[in-house]
Amino acid sequence: MSFINYVINGLSLGSIYAIIALGYTMVYGIARMLNFAHGDVIMVGAFTVFFGVSMQGLNPIAAVFVSIAICITLGVTIEFIAYRPLRGAASSLVVLITAIGVSYFLQNLALLIFGANTKSFTSMVPINPVRLAGGEIVISGETIMTILSCIIIMISLTAFIKKTKPGQAMLAVSEDKGAAQLMGINVNGTISLTFAIGSGLAAIAGILLCSAYPSLSPYTGSMPGIKAFIAAVFGGIGSIPGALIGGILLGVIEILGRAYISSQLADVIVFMVLIIVLLVKPTGLLGRKLQEKV
């Protein structure tokens, strides 16, 4: 029975990774860049809720919306100030290094404002745990909320991209920026929208993460951020279903590794799986083949 419990916990952690991985994968797919500051947007989202609820006495639901709004603003601002001027830069390395810089900037800014000590986060999820099989399987409210959110986000995001004008513009830009521009599509606006969606999802992921693992510090976002990046690469970066599959697999592998092999080695196992997958299938599980230009 404990195995089932572990798998459920893995699904829950994996759902969080998947939601974060969406931000990486969409930005990569559309702007062709790795936004390493994405993990720190998660932290900002969680801090916003923490301060909104415990300091300002905000209603938790209102706090969640404020947090999403702040993260969207932050994401779009980062793109506008730090990444947009570098678009078309000679080397994609320039943007990558800038993203790492933005990540450190956010972490240290949070250190300055919030201090280094870890805060204990109160769960935002008002659902009671569910016990199954005579109490042997326990599903926490956070788990239910997380998995539900992940499913809803995946379905609505897919519908948004497949069925709406801005979504189609995103697909067009991701395939051929130049041609999209020549069809009159606002490429900068589309990239901003991508950052907005990714950052809004990061806020949700941050709140879910801190509800399930209730400690919050300026470095909270960095490890889940990296893991989610791995999940995105694992599933095939640029692919939305890939982010889901990569995230879920990574979460389950991590929790099972922690339970059955060694809790110290859990991260090692995660990274090893990544290396093996990339050796066998360099584009990730659902990644598309790189086209060879002749």
Partner 1 sequence: MTQDMTPLLNVTNLSISFGGLRAVDDFDITVKKGQLYGLIGPNGAGKTTVFNLLTGVYRPDVGKIFLEDENITNMKTMDINKAGVGRTFQNIRLFKKLTVLDNVKVGLHNRFHYSTLEGIFRLPRYRSIEKIMNEEAYKLLKVFDLENEADYLAGNLPYGKQRKLEIARTLATNPKLLLLDEPAAGMNPNETKDLMKTIRFVRDEFDMTILLIEHDMKLVAGICEELTVLNFGKVLMSGETNAVLNDSRVITAYLGED
Task: List interacting residues with partner 1 (CB under 8 A).
Answer: 156, 160, 163-169, 171-172, 175-176, 178-187, 193
User: 60 or 166, CB closer to partner 1?
Assistant: 166
User: 120 or 164, CB closer to partner 1?
Assistant: 164
Q: Report, in Å, the least distance between residue 274 CB and partner 1.
A: 26
Q: Report, in Å, the least distance between residue 190 CB and partner 1.
A: 10
Q: Report, in Å, the least distance between residue 271 CB and partner 1.
A: 31
Q: Report, in Å, the least distance between residue 239 CB and partner 1.
A: 11
User: 179 or 276, CB closer to partner 1?
Assistant: 179
Contact indicator for 77, 44 with CB cutoff of 8 Å = no
Nearest 5°: phi and psi at 61? -65, -45
User: 16 or 172, CB closer to partner 1?
Assistant: 172
Residue 204: which of 228, 173, 179 has the closest Cα? 228
Q: Report, in Å, the least distance between residue 84 CB and partner 1.
A: 14
Structure tokens at 16: 């969080």
User: 100 or 183, CB closer to partner 1?
Assistant: 183
User: 3 or 160, CB closer to partner 1?
Assistant: 160
Nearest 5°: phi and psi at 6? -65, -45
Q: How far is CA 68 from the centre of its chain?
A: 13
Q: Report, in Å, the least distance between residue 22 CB and partner 1.
A: 15
Angle at 30 between CA 24 and CA 35, to 5 degrees: 35
